[in-house]
Amino acid sequence: MVGAGFAGVACVRRLERRLGVGEADLSLVTPFSYQLYLPLLPQVASGVLTPQSIAVSLRRSSKHRTRIIPGGAVGVDAKAKVCVIRKITGEMVNEPYDYIVLSPGSITRTFDIPGLVDNARGMKTLAEAAYIRDHVISQLDLADASQDEAERASRLQFVVVGGGYAGTETAACLQRLTTNAIRRYPRLDPKLIKWHLIDIAPKLMPELGDKLGQSALEILRKRGIEVSLGVSIEKAGPEEVTFTDGRVLPCRTLIWTAGVAASPLVATLDAETVRGRLAVTPEMTVPRLDGVFALGDAAAVPDTTKGDDAVCPPTAQHSMRQGRVMADNILASLRNQPLKPYAHKDLGLVVDLGGKDAVSKPLGIELRGLPAQAVARGYHWSALRTNVAKTRVLTNWMLNAFAGDDFVRTGFQSRNPATLKDFEYTNDYLTADQIREHTRGLIAGG
């Protein structure tokens, strides 16, 4: 199993429960010994939750039947049936397999925009969330200490790109943090702090529908967030950002959440793709590659509930359920039984905008305010896999509700402003020739 996201962990947990003794050996390739509960990442960035709260321990939640390999899969030789792994020490090892399940997830999608990869920060990893929190608070500290009005203006303007779930929640949660923090900075004018949320799409979170999407837009604008639709970034610099509508903003904080792309691992296989994701059958097998399955963000799993050429969106809801079906199909393969196709109708979307603000659409029912907040937090809380994680998250929520935000800056990478590539390790993957060279001895000896 490659990847410890929602899909991979759901598959492994089900296999651990249903495999007979001695029926198969399980290995899980992941650089971290936790499953990241990604939907709550904006609350880590804003300090509502501690990083440890949403890093759900794999060893605590497993039945200890799975060997965890600390590293990342950087190539797959489907002919030799070998997965090439770069361990966290940098050592490269070959891991043979009979069946391989690919759920390496996704990375932040970027475009050929001058300065973007060097000056933007993503929100895909725990390290990025911790870094962004430190960075935002440091901008307040530096602006407060500065005598230069131009520097103050650039440090107190924040831009978030992406009007989807991640971008909207990130902008909302961090804007709430700076609004509460400014009370601790009497030398700073609160009016100088400006948050901008931009998206090239004509609507904010179109998945919510027109009414709820408009409600979310009104909440953000009422709180002072400037939302610009039909707009993107033309150029990004260390101290200013140029929009496609011609505006140039002094800005030292650019957060990029404009979509995701499948893991670069996909490109190491000689397989058909659909918009960069592995093309798979409804049973989540990869055509022409014996023993290879794929699911989650890296796979274009057909959405059988919609038909035609529709594929499932890269959401946690689909990934978790695909993982369970995948486990059943692995068992069926081992036992020479027929595989079953994946089918699931989306149950809705929940959006936590911080404080008492939220919009949700569970089972098609439109909710706003506290009822929506209760549904959003209740869903996330119930989806956490261990009681320890649930206790930590609930305790953090209660502490924040009664004590308010804290504004501690830990100094995380304070003198090393990391880029998107640094956080997501996108340069680690091998080419097809490198993979063949690395596994040549196994093929010759096979």
**CATH 3.50.50.60 placement within the chain:** 6-108+261-346+423-445
Give the model's pLDDT for residue 202.
93
Percentage with pLDDT > 90 across the chain: 74
Instruction: Specify the fold of 6-108+261-346+423-445.
Output: FAD/NAD(P)-binding domain (3.50.50)
Q: Which spans in 335-415 are helix H?
A: 369-383, 387-403
Which residue has tokens 């869903």? 379
Q: How far is CA 322 from CA 25, 284, 309, 427, in A?
A: 21, 9, 18, 28
Average pLDDT of the residues of the chain: 91
Give the model's pLDDT for residue 413.
65
Both structure tokens of 261: 């792309």
Low-confidence winner among 25-39, 49-63, 267-281, 286-300 (lowest mean pLDDT): 49-63
Residue-wise pLDDT tens digits, 332-360: 999 999 999 999 877 788 999 988 899 99
Give the model's pLDDT for residue 416.
67
CA 259, 263, 264, 269: dihedral to nearest 10 degrees? -130
Overall average pLDDT of the 112-127 stretch: 92
Overall average pLDDT of the 152-158 stretch: 95
Residue-wise pLDDT tens digits, 64-74: 789 999 999 99
Overall average pLDDT of the 21-45 stretch: 94
Give the model's pLDDT for residue 417.
64
Overall average pLDDT of the 24-52 stretch: 94
Give the model's pLDDT for residue 345.
79
Contacts 24+ apart (CB under 8 A), 306-315: 311/274, 311/277, 312/342, 312/344, 313/346, 314/106, 314/260, 314/277, 315/346
Residue-wise pLDDT tens digits, 398-414: 999 999 888 888 877 66
Overall average pLDDT of the 83-87 stretch: 95
Overall average pLDDT of the 12-40 stretch: 93
Query: What's the rounded Cα separation, in Å, for the pair 296 and 319?
Result: 5
Give the model's pLDDT for residue 397.
95
Give the model's pLDDT for residue 61.
62
Q: Which spans in 68-201 are helix H?
A: 116-119, 126-145, 149-155, 165-181
| Statement: 110-255 belongs to CATH 2.30.30.90 | no
Give the model's pLDDT for residue 445.
45
Flag whether pLDDT at 62 surpasses 70: no
* Top-confidence range, 148-162, 256-270, 424-438: 148-162
Give the model's pLDDT for residue 77.
93
Between 178 and 431, the more confident residue is: 178
**CATH 3.50.50.100 placement within the chain:** 110-255
Strand partners, 46: none
This prediction has a pTM of: 0.92
